[in-house]
């Protein structure tokens, strides 16, 4: 008996009828509600990096905040970590395939923000714009 093959995932082009009926959009907004998450994913879009390199790419993020966000992003499989067994035992982070796929909506959001949000708009929660805690 041949192995069962699931059909490939459908590419969705239709708009949802109502955002409030979709738990998926709630999860996406929850992910982006912490501005550091999007900035970390965009920083890793430049290539794998250790935490010091990521901090260089994201001005204003603290080591503690970065460590917490990386744990969360790794737990939901947007980021992978590779621990190098060297004398310094460095951990390098990279986008997972899911994280790379998330760059598509992030890029669209970035373009929309460039076109529609004035540069002087302060962040709603005091979270990252170009600087942060």
What pLDDT is attached to residue 132? 40
Residue with tokens 């994280």: 99
93 phi/psi in degrees, rounded to 5: -115, 150
* Residue-level pLDDT, tens digit, the chain, 133 residues: 555 555 555 555 555 555 456 888 888 888 888 889 999 999 999 999 999 999 999 999 999 999 999 999 999 999 999 987 777 778 999 999 999 999 999 899 889 999 999 887 555 554 555 444 3
- The β-bridge relationship of strands 91-95 and 49-50 is antiparallel
Q: Tens of pLDDT along 81-116? A: 998 777 777 899 999 999 999 999 989 988 999 999
Helix (H) or strand (E) holding 71: helix 63-75
Query: Are 84 and 90 within 8 A, CB to CB?
Result: yes
What pLDDT shows up at residue 115?
92
pLDDT of 17 reads 55
Q: Please state, in angstroms and rounded to a whole number, the distance separating the CA atoms of residues 131 and 133.
A: 7
Are the C-beta atoms of residues 50 and 91 closer than 8 Å to each other? Answer: yes
What pLDDT is attached to residue 131?
A: 41
pTM above 0.75, yes or no: no
Average pLDDT over all residues of the chain: 82
């Amino acid at each position: 008996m041949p192995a069962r093959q699931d059909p490939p995932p459908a590419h969705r082009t239709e708009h949802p009828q109502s955002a409030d009926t979709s738990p998926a959009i709630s999860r996406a907004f929850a992910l982006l509600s912490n501005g550091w998450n999007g900035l970390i994913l965009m920083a890793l879009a430049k290539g794998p990096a250790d935490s010091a390199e990521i901090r260089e790419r994201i001005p204003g993020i603290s080591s503690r905040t970065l460590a917490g966000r990386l744990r969360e992003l790794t737990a939901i499989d947007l980021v992978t970590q590779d621990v190098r067994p060297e004398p310094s035992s460095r951990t390098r982070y990279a986008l997972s395939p899911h994280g790379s796929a998330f760059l598509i909506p992030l890029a669209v959001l970035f373009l929309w923000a460039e076109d529609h949000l004035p540069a002087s708009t302060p962040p709603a929660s005091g979270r990252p714009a170009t600087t942060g805690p």
